[in-house]
Amino acid sequence: MENQYNAVKEKLSGNKDLLIRVANVLLEKETIDGKEFLELVNRQL
């Protein structure tokens, strides 16, 4: 179980900027659709 926890923690930490960006958009708009989410993700890549 600890291995899975560490794997998830690493993935989240590695994508912190993206998570913050998504959170900020959600705070502003409250909801986004799949297209908007993908646009945010693709900008990160």
Q: Considering its fold, how many domains does the chain have in total?
A: 1
pLDDT score at 31: 96
Range of the domain at 18: 2-44
pLDDT score at 30: 95
Answer whether 1's CB lies under 8 Å from 12's CB.
no
pLDDT score at 2: 86
Per residue in 14-45, pLDDT tens?
999 999 999 999 999 999 999 999 999 998 66
> For residues 45 and 12, which has the higher predicted lDDT (pLDDT)?
12
Answer whether 32's CB lies under 8 Å from 26's CB.
yes
